[in-house]
């Protein structure tokens, strides 16, 4: 039976706020290491997983400082964009999404839904998108509270530290997917002394990633509590070869846990491989963070995934 706790966080969203902890069966787990998953994908149908946690303090600050609009950046399939749009919609705050690339003739589900939540979408060329300061400057006249792409900031990390309130001290290892590294920094901040955080990078070679995580940590001691692992990107960010999709179906059959093709599928795959390679000590107890993002699977042909 999964353990169930209720997420008691402001604001009080419509929808389910259940946090499940569920056991995971891995074929490579010959040492029978206890492996659980924290189902943050279940907390809300749209503001899923870590995006809720990374946004919460930004939005709180924006409200306290009386900003009327939240503005942020992202790509056409961004979980961060849709989460921001929905979060603002629920609180009655305006939102603006600066989208990388020209306006597509056929918009992704992500963009259509963000628009349905009232987000104003502004498309900028890939080249112009790189210079965030210039974009922010061009909006000087508006009363905008800016959130970095992917929610990357100290405030984002502090918000993500709350994820640890669902992880008791019996767990020795916490494993998560890493994009900007904000969630991992948050887990490092929120974890107990005895817990090690392992981050699985979904990027192909980003030498600055460790630095980005370090920059979000103020405590020197904390910087020793994590490890970033590369090589599980399956070809690069958001790349999803058939083998990965097949594996997602297999994992679902075994565990009834749906994963997303950008982050959590690669994470869950990596844990299986790391178990096989003996990365975790025999008496470990592992918590895998299901950070949500399932809406991104809609970019696939219908029926390719069995969930």
Ligand X SMILES: *Cc1c(COP(=O)(O)O)cnc(C)c1O
Residues making contact with ligand X (CB under 6 A): 49-51, 79-80, 150, 177-184, 260, 263-264, 291-293
Closest separation in Å from C-beta 178 to ligand X:
5
R_g of the chain computed on alpha carbons: 19
Phi, psi of 147 (to 5 degrees): -115, 130
Residue closer to ligand X by CB (options 181, 190) is 181
Residue closer to ligand X by CB (options 103, 204) is 204
Residue closer to ligand X by CB (options 124, 261) is 261
Residue closer to ligand X by CB (options 36, 260) is 260
Closest separation in Å from C-beta 42 to ligand X:
13
Interior/surface letters 265-276, b for 16+ CB within 10 angstroms, e for the rest = bbbbbbbbebbe
Closest separation in Å from C-beta 181 to ligand X:
5
H-only helix segments in 92-205 = 109-116, 126-129, 132-137, 154-160, 182-190
Nearest Cα residue to 170 out of 32, 35, 296: 35
Closest separation in Å from C-beta 136 to ligand X:
20
Closest separation in Å from C-beta 281 to ligand X:
25
Nearest Cα residue to 56 out of 129, 135, 157, 190: 157
Contact assessment for residue 250 and residue 257, using Cβ atoms and an 8 Å cutoff? no
* Nearest residue relative to ligand X (C-beta): 293
The side-by-side arrangement of strands in the sheet containing 196-201 is: 3-6, 18-23, 34-39, 285-290, 173-178, 196-201, 226-229
Residue closer to ligand X by CB (options 89, 291) is 291
């Amino acid at each position: 039976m999964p353990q169930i706790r209720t997420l008691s966080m402001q604001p009080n969203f419509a929808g389910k706020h259940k946090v499940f902890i569920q056991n995971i069966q891995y074929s490579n787990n010959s040492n029978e290491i206890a492996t659980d998953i924290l189902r943050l994908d279940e907390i809300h149908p749209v503001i899923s997983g870590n995006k809720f946690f990374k946004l919460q303090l930004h939005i709180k600050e924006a409200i306290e400082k009386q900003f009327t609009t939240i503005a942020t950046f992202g790509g056409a399939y961004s979980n961060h964009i849709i989460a921001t749009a929905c979060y603002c919609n629920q609180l009655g705050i305006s939102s603006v999404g600066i989208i990388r690339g020209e306006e597509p003739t056929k918009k992704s589900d992500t963009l259509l839904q963000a628009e349905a939540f009232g987000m104003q979408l502004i498309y900028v060329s890939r080249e112009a998108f790189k210079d965030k300061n210039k974009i922010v400057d061009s909006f000087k006249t508006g009363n905008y509270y800016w959130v970095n792409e992917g929610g990357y900031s100290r405030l984002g990390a502090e918000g993500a530290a709350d994820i640890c309130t669902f992880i008791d001290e019996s767990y020795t290892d916490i494993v998560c997917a890493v994009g900007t590294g904000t969630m991992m920094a948050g887990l490092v901040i929120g974890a107990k002394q005895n817990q090690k955080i392992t981050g699985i990078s979904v990027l192909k070679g980003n030498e600055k990633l460790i630095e980005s995580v370090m920059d979000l940590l103020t405590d020197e001691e904390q910087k020793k509590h994590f490890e970033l692992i590369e090589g599980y990107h399956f070809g690069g960010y958001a790349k999803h070869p058939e083998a990965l999709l097949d594996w997602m179906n297999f994992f679902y059959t075994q565990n009834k846990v749906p994963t997303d093709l950008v982050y959590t599928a690669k994470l869950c795959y990596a844990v299986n491989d790391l178990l096989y390679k003996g990365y975790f000590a025999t008496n470990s107890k592992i918590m895998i963070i299901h950070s949500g993002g399932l809406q991104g699977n809609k970019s696939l042909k219908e029926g390719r995934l069995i969930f």
